[in-house]
Amino acid sequence: MSSRCSEVRILIVGSGGREHALAHRCVVEGHHVIVAPGSDGIAADARCVAVQTSEHERLVELARAERVDLVVIGPEQPLVDGLADRLRAAGVLTVGPSAAAARLEGSKADAKAFMARHGIPTAASQTVHSLADGLAALAVFSAPPVIKASGLAAGKGVTVPESFAEAEAALRDCLEGHVFGAAGATVVLEERLDGEEVSLLVLTDGTRALTFEPAQDHKRLLDGDLGPNTGGMGAYAPAPLLDSIRRERALVEIVEPTLAGLRAEGRPFVGVLFVGLMIDAGGAARVIEYNCRLGDPEAQPILFGARGEVVPHLLAASRGVLVPGHLAGRAAATVVMASSGYPRASGAAVPITGLDAAAAAEDVKIFHAGTRLRDGQWWATGGRVLGVCARGARLEEALARAYSACDQISFTGSQARRDIGARARG
């Protein structure tokens, strides 16, 4: 179903750059969009209503009161907490998995056990619940394993250690220091994989899948993949690493068995399944992580670059009648501008200049994540402030547009990588 559809009333749940990109896309396609809670930046494109993502009952009421046709849930926490179940129980069509299916992201231990049960290629691992078991498991690895807090930790729960001493310290942080609270009470120790990472996102009705253009995120803070891990400093799509042949192979070897496994376990996945893949030198893919939603910033280039309409597919997935296929996109890239101190701390709000001029350029769109508007002045309020997104006929063109927009925007202490997309350019 890719023909034009009449106006759909859509409620988007969330407030970040991903939700801004989604809202913008739906508005551009001619639909009526409400965002809860949204943000000042999103309010420039769509109506925002001050209901928080944790207020499930109020969100159900809002969906009813606004007579929405479709709800799309952006972030993982409300999905893991069962918001999609509540909405479906109230008869509201929803894009987003049930709590049971979202456990693939909410519990890395669950995801590893699931992959083992269904023969889905991934790194060897051990799951532990105590420091003593963790230290015993560590001794079994021949090289320092990756240490992962099992629960949701806002992208900060994974350590890729260079030594056994560092691995042990990460285990102690989780199981003795409780730095991730309950999310770190269970820990996965995982064989470290070599290769290149790519994110394959698919929209699914539980059975059929529509692939989006594969994307590559840049998780480290600094150029050259140095510095601490972040939520993502930029992304581009399509990533040439996963060409159409490899994409098809990942669909058959990983996505389809995942969807079949979830169905067999009575927890079909309706929504966007995000598979983080490591591709080895021979082109084979293994799963590094599952997410139960669109990625941020990946969603920005994927949605801004998409050539066809997206909303008819969202509606079809929520109804269980998705037509499988691939949604092709133009080349697109997002460069994240983060506040000083990110990812560790967030300082006082600082004024942003140059936004309007930067936003006026053709094929550029600035998605807001950490901003506020007061008396006509934009402020950077912390974290990942802006996602400066651009598209073009080729990636070089998209990147040149994104960086030229970035160069017009300034705020004290801003941090942005200068090498987004460099890997794809060779």
Q: Which residues bind ligand AMP (CB under 6 A)?
A: 123, 146, 148, 158, 160, 190, 192-193, 197, 219, 276, 288-289
Q: CA 76: distance to chain centroid?
A: 9
Q: Which of 295, 329, 383, 392 binds ligand GLY (CB under 6 A)?
A: 295
* Residue 361: its H or E element: none
Say which entry of ligand AMP, ligand GLY, none residue 186 contacts (CB below 5 to 8 A, set by partner kind). Answer: none
Q: Which of 217, 256, 309, 363 binds ligand GLY (CB under 6 A)?
A: 217
Q: Which residue shows structure tokens 């749940």? A: 13
* CB closer to ligand AMP out of 49 and 179: 179
CA–CA separation, 67 and 10 (whole Å): 9
By the rule CB under 6 A, 216 interacts with ligand GLY: no
* CB closer to ligand AMP out of 190 and 205: 190
Say which entry of ligand GLY, ligand AMP, none residue 232 contacts (CB below 5 to 8 A, set by partner kind). Answer: ligand GLY
* CB closer to ligand GLY out of 156 and 263: 156
By the rule CB under 6 A, 296 interacts with ligand GLY: yes
CA–CA separation, 70 and 18 (whole Å): 17
At residue 18, what is the residue type?
A: R
Least Å from the CB of residue 68 to ligand AMP: 32
Least Å from the CB of residue 235 to ligand GLY: 7
Least Å from the CB of residue 119 to ligand AMP: 18
By the rule CB under 6 A, 145 interacts with ligand GLY: no
* CB closer to ligand GLY out of 76 and 85: 76
* CB closer to ligand AMP out of 41 and 301: 301
By the rule CB under 6 A, 19 interacts with ligand GLY: no
Burial of residue 160 (CB within 10 Å: 0-12, 13-18, 19+) is middle
Long-range contacts of 139-148 (CB under 8 A, 24+ apart): 141/189, 141/191, 143/191, 143/192, 144/192, 145/189, 145/190, 145/191, 145/192, 146/189, 146/190, 146/191, 146/192, 147/171, 147/174, 147/187, 147/188, 147/189, 147/190, 148/108, 148/187, 148/188, 148/189, 148/190
Least Å from the CB of residue 376 to ligand AMP: 39
Least Å from the CB of residue 277 to ligand GLY: 13
By the rule CB under 6 A, 334 interacts with ligand GLY: no
* CB closer to ligand AMP out of 123 and 306: 123
Q: Which stretch binds ligand GLY (CB under 6 A): 118-126, 221-229, 290-298, 308-316?
A: 290-298
Say which entry of ligand GLY, ligand AMP, none residue 193 contacts (CB below 5 to 8 A, set by partner kind). Answer: ligand AMP
By the rule CB under 6 A, 16 interacts with ligand GLY: no
Which residues lie closer than 8 Å to 10 by C-beta, 6 or more apart?
26, 31, 32, 33, 34, 68, 69, 70, 71, 72, 311, 314
Say which entry of ligand GLY, ligand AMP, none residue 85 contacts (CB below 5 to 8 A, set by partner kind). Answer: none
Contact between residue 27 and residue 14 where contact means Cβ atoms under 8 Å apart: no
Show the CA angle centred on residue 302, arms to residues 250 and 160, nearest 5°: 60
Q: Smallest Cα–Cα separation from 316: which of 31, 29, 12, 69?
A: 69
Long-range contacts of 115-120 (CB under 8 A, 24+ apart): 115/287, 117/261, 118/257, 118/258, 118/260, 118/261, 118/264, 119/257, 120/254, 120/257, 120/258, 120/261, 120/287
* CB closer to ligand AMP out of 34 and 146: 146
Least Å from the CB of residue 192 to ligand AMP: 4
By the rule CB under 6 A, 291 interacts with ligand GLY: yes
* CB closer to ligand GLY out of 298 and 363: 298
Least Å from the CB of residue 232 to ligand GLY: 4
Strands laid side by side in the 70-73 sheet: 47-48, 32-37, 9-14, 70-73, 94-95
Residues within the interface to ligand GLY (CB under 6 A): 155, 217, 232, 291, 295-296, 298
